[in-house]
Structure 1
Amino acid sequence: MFARAKPTDNNSAVGKDLAQVLPQDGIPWYKKKHLLVLNFYAVSMTLFSAANGYDGSMMNGLMALPEWFAFMGDPSGSWLGFINAVQALSAAIALPAVAYFANRWGRKKGLLIGYVFLLLGALLQALGHNKATFVLGRFFIGQPSAWWGSLAPLLITELAFPTHRAVLTALYNCGWYVGSTVAAWATYGTRNYGNDWTWRIPSLLQLAVPILILPAAILVPESPRFLVSTGQLDKARAILTKFHAGSDEHSLLVEFEMTEIQRAIEADKMAMSSTSWADLFSTKGNRHRAFISITLGIFAQWNGVGVVSYYLAMVLKTVGITSVTQQTLISGCLQVWNLFCAVGSAMSVDLVGRRPLFLISSIGMLISFILITGLSGSFANTGSHAIGIAVVPFLYLYYGFYDIAFTPLLISYTAEIWPYELRARGMALLQVSTSLAVFFNIFVNPIALAAIGWKYYIVFVVILLFIICTIWFFYPETRGHSLEEMAVIFDGEKAAVTGLDLGHDAKSGVRGETAEEVA
């Protein structure tokens, strides 16, 4: 039986009510088998984002390879933009169906659907004999981005141990850089083959990371919150008991979680007899959530990162770095830098808080982009090689600031602000806005870069100023709340559903104990 926890131990992560029922046995989580297994599943789920990261970095690398350009008929301008953007367009088309699937059949089953599309897309892209096949393969590659990008974060958020939830969900998007790192170095390794395998091998290696985590995708349990929402209370309790309490049937934590989840889902169902897309905008609190989801998806792509992610080779050419070896080497090192920065930031979300990370990230990107713009303009006027080289460290600095917030919080912040009944649609809203922003961004970027070069960067300086103002006024701090209690931030104290009073619940039949009874 758990002793009563000290309220201050985990307040910063989950709030005082849930903190009181957490186990206080003095044993670190990494010495508990059930939490090791649970966190293994969660970390494996974060690697689903590697598929999307691989694609962005791979396309960046391919555009440094003359063999790929020859195969594709030397694409440029709008056609080059479409080749890149078709993946994001495909994801955007799939997202409404994914949201419906998540609420109807659960979070887990859809993960396996993504594998079918990935296999088809990777094979078409790597083994096709013409440019139409390559583009069709990229369309299919966009489907896993939708299925995995929506469902894996939901599964992590709704399955994780309470004090690990924020960090694990924040780590999801960090997996993007695992994929981008593999892609960048694969492209670097094949750069001198001198034939089509220079780009076919990196295209085929898109399968590597997803296949590695396939066993975890098969074995991971379903979301307890989905099971509760569909009346499968015994299954939900069994999963929470096994993975949160180490199979302790008398766990006060499990009683608290079951009561809080049931109350929150019941309250959602009473407020919405049946959910629809219109419910995302039906109340003041939901409109606030929807505003954050839409703007965050757009901001994550319209802060300049789209230029660097998909068109780094073109950016480097504007400052005189034209060697294929130099371009692919810079890209490979950049992805490793990104991975370390993103993971470090994800580990600090409960320590620092969400708002400070957003603001530090945005202000840092603004300063970096101003310097990049100035140096690029100076190189255009002087042609100085030293000035061109000086842009590179500021590109790294810019990405470091991007990774502070927009990598770890893009998914995790959105997942935690929506109530269960609307969480899948809220995530889809983010993903749709992100995909459309990506489609527009990478379609327009090559045209703008070709037309006005470094002057295009000024647009992102203006956008970054707007991003900072929006975050300051509209993005609230969410640290210190459990997943169910997050509603009080947007809907007021009336939305509180604390499970600390674990007496008899008429609807669920749960008979629990108060914290004082087990102290």
Structure 2
Amino acid sequence: MAKTLLARITRPRVSSSSWVVSVLMVLCSCITSTTFGYDGSMMNRLNILPSYTDYFHLNTATLSLNTAALWIGGAIAGLTYGQVTDIIGRRYALFWAAVGTLLSVILQTAAQNTAMFVIARILVGYGTSASTLTGPTYVAETLPYNWRAWGLGVLNDCYYVGGLIAAGVTYRKATYSSTWAWRVPSLVQGIFSILCIAILPFVPESPRWLAYCGRTEEALIVIAQTHANGDTSNPIVLAQYKEIIDTIEYERNVGETLSLKQMVKTPVERKRVSLAISAAVISKISGNVIASYYLGTMLENAGITDTTTQLQINIVLNAWCLCCALVGTYYADKLGRRPTAIISTSLLTVFLFIVGALTKIYGTSTNKSGVYGTVAAIFLFQGAYSFGWTPLLYLYPPEVLNYPIRANGMGLFTFVLNGVALLIVFSFPFAQEAMG
């Protein structure tokens, strides 16, 4: 079976419909962010689940480590998987990342102690981040131009699809008193990797990667499959093919390579990498990552202590964020990337201050209006983030990185993204403890 699957990955059975091919490519890449969204919502719930916290005898340090371990693996993937993606191709890179994530999820589900759980979480983080590094690169290089903005934007919007699924699964299993209350949600996380593996035999390789490797005839066929229902004589296909070939020849003539040094070789490329990294930093220091992984703690601070109510809020919040992200994806294409980022950042900054003020005033109050106002402010904060940074996070970096530095640049972007998230997620419980 494994040999058959690998053979189909090598020789994909691609549909004659460009629309079907485009949808499958986007769906395959979206699954990677769905896994991340599922993880955030799942861990947010597990951190307040007695059967989980009691089983691992969690204190502040181990709670932080269990939650943040995912980002350790993600940071390592950022440093290593960009080169892998350039060497073996985008589809194979997605395949092995999905396989690694699936095996890691099984290990996480079977964890018998904290050490085993943390190691599994690191491996899950590596596989998931390897996928989110490769997915946007693949979509940016393969999807037709008129689909590209939507494809890259929706890619990270599906984070909230995963969050919704996790919220529903953990809500149903909350009444379990055994360890299956946390093992079942963990096991379900592997379904997304299985879906990705199942789709990969039916989508083509990146035409830019094929052309760079000298497989120009295959590149032309792929462009035809994604742009003109397989018609290699279509003028748009031929123009796109010529543009790719000419660009690659120019980059080789001026000495550009796929090496890590290429990212800092010229001022232009340093600027491109800096712009990509800025998206990682701004998106994570906004506070969204805390709301994703410690929503239960935020709601307790706001005066919502009932577990069932917290779960219900989590479900509604993920649905709200998904709607805001889809609206933001539309406007990112209409308004432009920078205006969307400015609007989103300005609004979420205002709403974050409001959340802090209302939490301080009504956190220990019996004033229901004040408590509801705090929850509403959390919704507005998350909505403002989702409107801008959710679609832009994987739309903007692949666009500003040109082909020679795209995979490695996305690797560095992933490293910084995970490094900043690791610092925030690990330190938050200690900050909460210090504040009393």
User: Shared fold (TM-score greater than 0.5)?
Assistant: yes
Picking from 234, 237, 243, the partner of 1:260 is 243
The alpha-carbon deviation at position 44 of structure 1 amounts to 2.9
Task: Report 1:239-388 matches (<5 A).
Answer: 239-380=222-363, 382=365, 384-388=367-371
Q: Is the 8 A contact 1:51 1:176 kept in 2?
A: yes
Is the 2:77–2:127 contact (alpha carbons within 8 Å) kept by the matching residues of 1? no
Q: Given the superposition, is the C-alpha separation of residues 195 and 95 from structure 1 closer, same or farther in structure 2, using an over 3 Å criterion?
A: same
The answer on whether the counterparts of 1:71 and 1:131 sit within 8 Å (CA) in structure 2 is: no
Give, in angstroms, the shift of residue 333 of structure 1.
1.3
Per-residue CA deviation, residues 78-123 of structure 1 (Å, 9 max, x unaligned), is 3321211111111111223211111112111011212332222212
Q: 2:174 aligns with which of 191, 194, 199?
A: 191
Identical amino acids, percent of aligned pairs: 29
CA offset digits 1:290-341 (Å, max 9, x no partner)? 2212221111111011221111111111122111111111111111111121
2:22 aligned with 1:38: yes
SS at match of 1:217: helix
Q: Hey, what does 2:32 align to over in structure 1?
A: 48
Give a deviation string over 1:32-75, Cα, whole Å, max 9, x none. Answer: 93223322322232122111111111000101211111011032
Matches within 5 A, 1:115-126: 115-126=98-109
Judge conservation of contact 1:181–1:335 (CA < 8 Å) in 2. Answer: yes
Cα distance, 1:452 vs structure 2: 2.2
- C-alpha separation in 2, matches of 1:250 and 1:217: 26
Equivalent residue letter for 1:329: Q
Check whether the contact 1:368–1:397 (CA below 8 A) recurs between aligned residues.
yes
Q: Which residue of 1 aligns with 2:56?
A: 72
C-alpha distance in structure 2 between counterparts of 1:63 and 1:33, whole Å: 45
2:373 matched to which residue of 1?
390
Amino acid at match of 2:287: G
CA distance in 1, matches of 2:245, 2:138: 18
Q: Deviations over 1:155-190 (max 9, x none)?
A: 111111111111101111112111111111111111
The 2-side partners of 1:229 and 1:33 are apart by 25
- AA aligned opposite 1:371: I
- 2:388 pairs, out of 389, 405, 414, with 405
Answer with 1 or 2: which has the greater Rg.
1
1:174 aligned partner, one-letter code: D
Query: In 2, are the aligned partners of 1:47 and 1:178 still within 8 Å (CA)?
Result: no
Whether contact under 8 Å (1:120, 1:137) holds in the other structure is no
Other-structure match for 1:162: 145
Q: How much has 1:385 moved relative to structure 2?
A: 4.1
* Aligned counterpart, 1:424: 407
* CA displacement, residues 411-457 of structure 1 (integer Å, 9 cap, x when unaligned): 1100011111110011111111100011101011111122226xxxx
Q: Could you say which residue in structure 2 is the equivalent of 1:19?
A: none
State the 1:200 CA deviation: 1.0
Between the aligned partners of 2:322 and 2:28, the Cα distance in structure 1 is 16
Gaps of 5+ in 2: 1-15
Instruction: Provide the rounded CA distance (Å) in 2 between the counterparts of 1:417 and 1:284.
Output: 14
* Cα distance, 1:247–1:220 mapped onto 2, change above 3 Å: closer
Match of 1:213 among 196, 216, 225: 196
1:474-503 deviations in Å (ceiling 9; x for gaps): xxxxxxxxxxxxxxxxxxxxxxxxxxxxxx
User: Secondary structure of the residue that 1:400 maps to in structure 2?
Assistant: helix
Question: 1:386 Cα deviation (Å)?
Answer: 3.2
Compute the displacement of 1:408 (Å). Answer: 0.5
Q: Following the alignment from structure 2 to structure 1, what is the Cα–Cα distance between the partners of residues 205 and 178?
A: 45
Cα separation, 2, equivalents of 1:95 and 1:264: 26
The whole-number CA distance in structure 2 between the counterparts of 1:186 and 1:48 is 19
Task: Name the aligned partner's letter for residue 65 of structure 1.
Answer: L
Distance 2:174 2:161 in 1: 20
Q: Secondary structure at the match of 2:285?
A: coil
307-316 or 34-43, larger mean C-alpha shift: 34-43
8 Å CA contact 2:77–2:415 kept in 1: the answer is: no
5+ residue gaps, structure 1:
1-31, 454-519
Q: Kindly indicate whether residue 124 of structure 2 is the aligned counterpart of residue 141 of structure 1.
A: yes
> SS in structure 2 opposite 1:301?
helix
Query: Residue 354 of structure 2 aligns to which amino acid in structure 1?
Result: L
**The residue matched to 2:189 in structure 1 has which SS?**
helix
- Matched residue, 1:481: none
TM-fit CA distance, 1:344: 2.3
Q: Could you state the TM-score of these two structures normalised by the residue count of structure 2?
A: 0.93
8 Å Cα contact 1:245-1:254 kept in structure 2: yes
1:383 CA displacement: 5.5
Could you tell me which amino acid in structure 1 is paired with residue 383 of structure 2?
Answer: G
Count of aligned residue pairs for this structure pair: 421
Q: Deviations over 1:333-367 (max 9, x none)?
A: 11111112112222332222111110110011011
Supply the RMSD in Å over aligned alpha carbons. 1.7
2:42 match: 58
- Residue by residue over 1:132-174, the C-alpha shift from the partner in whole angstroms, topping out at 9 and shown as x without a partner, is 2221211111122222111111111111111111110111111
Cα–Cα, structure 1 residues 116 and 209, in superposed 2: closer, same or farther, change >3 Å? closer
Secondary structure class of the residue paired with 2:390: coil
Contact 1:161–1:244 under 8 Å retained in 2: yes
CA distance in structure 2 between the partners assigned to 1:105 and 1:117 by the alignment:
16
Task: Name whichever structure is richer in helix by fraction.
Answer: 2
